[in-house]
Amino acid sequence: MSDSLEKLAARAAELRRVLERASYEYYVLDRPEISDLEYDRMFRELQALEAQHPELRTLDSPTQRVGAPPQGQLAKHAHVVPMISLGNAFDDDELREWEARITRQVGNDANGGYSAELKIDGTAVSLTYENGVLVTGATRGNGTIGEIVTANLRTMRDIPLRLADPKPPRLVEIRGECYLPFDAFERLNEERAKAGEPIFANPRNSAAGSLRQLDPAMTAKRPLRFFGFAAAAPADCRASLLDPARSARHARAVGLPRRVASPEPRHARRRHDVRARGRALASCAAQLRH
């Protein structure tokens, strides 16, 4: 690589870093540090560099969030670790049976307590990061095989294209839900009704349909959000993100939506036994529209 190209590559890398940080501050922290005008200026500079020198374009470039061509069909993806589904309990007896089953399986470890939190009702996805870079985004599918929707997920500004962790795991999957907040869903239906288009039945189906669009530009028009709730990695990878004690502050520091690794405190309640879950669930239920 010539000296001039090395300088351009360094400039492109700096632009990617600044732009990704700016998106994170704006969409996740809600605390922008640079103006929209400055962001647009740097974005155009990066676009021009990549257009003149395509070899400088990377998977984590902000220019790749929108612009992928429509797909003929969605390809399949095998999850690194299976995505299991949630169980349910409809009354106190079933909940006590679940607790007894957990105690039989894990013994004294069950004394660590429970975390009660809201279930965000969207569509489950898995974000695969290799050495900190988002390489694949997929739906849950049957838990083992999902559909690749990487280009669509890249349009969501609260999903980082690169983790800010200086020593990221070689391979990690961030699990979460893509969803439409109630107010955004209502606005979307109002707009569709005014345009004479059929309205969506509910936020969950709307989110799933939005994510499975063959054209990423259509997904980009929908106000989707991401709620991360877990991380998974094969045994041979450094699983630093798997420790449930990691704080929301650290999740922010590595560029993840703050709900990954540790839910927002106002949406989670820690309880030592299931008998105390009633108060926790009532407190969470009061926040359902937020």
Q: In this structure, is the dihedral angle defined by the CA atoms of residues 256, 257, 262 and 264, taken in order, positive or negative?
A: positive
The answer to whether 178 and 112 have CB atoms below 8 angstroms apart is no
Q: What is the DSSP letter of 126?
A: E
Provide, rounded to the nearest whole percent, the portion of the chain with pLDDT above 70. Answer: 73
Q: Has this prediction a pTM greater than 0.85?
A: no
Q: What is the mean pLDDT of the chain?
A: 78
pLDDT tier at 240 (50, 70, 90 boundaries)? very low
Task: Return the higher-pLDDT residue of 25 and 70.
Answer: 25
Over residues 158-204, the pLDDT tens digits come to 898 988 878 888 888 888 889 998 899 999 999 989 999 888 888 88
pLDDT tier at 264 (50, 70, 90 boundaries)? very low
Task: Return the higher-pLDDT residue of 272 and 157.
Answer: 157
What's residue 278's pLDDT?
A: 56
What's residue 69's pLDDT?
A: 62
The answer to whether 154 and 216 have CB atoms below 8 angstroms apart is yes
Over residues 54-64, the pLDDT tens digits come to 999 988 888 88
pLDDT at residue 283 is higher than 80: no
What's residue 280's pLDDT?
A: 58
Among 3.40.50.10490, 1.25.40.20, 3.30.365.10, 3.30.470.30, name the CATH number for the domain at 119-285: 3.30.470.30
Q: How far apart are CA 69 and CA 168, in angstroms?
A: 30
* Positions marked catalytic: 119
What's residue 237's pLDDT?
A: 59
pLDDT at residue 141 is higher than 90: no
What's residue 175's pLDDT?
A: 87
The answer to whether 207 and 123 have CB atoms below 8 angstroms apart is yes
Among 3.40.120.10, 1.10.287.610, 1.10.730.10, 3.30.380.10, name the CATH number for the domain at 3-64: 1.10.287.610
Q: How far apart are CA 63 and CA 178, in angstroms?
A: 21
Token pair, residue 221, equals: 């028009």
What's residue 98's pLDDT?
A: 84
Measuring CA to CA, how many Å separate 87 from each of 90, 94, 95, 98?
Answer: 10, 11, 11, 9
pLDDT at residue 248 is higher than 60: no
What's residue 128's pLDDT?
A: 92
What's residue 190's pLDDT?
A: 93
Percentages helix, strand, coil for the chain (3-state, rounded to 5) are 45, 15, 40
pLDDT at residue 137 is higher than 90: yes
Query: Where are the chain's structural domains?
Result: 3-64, 119-285
Mean pLDDT of 208-220: 88
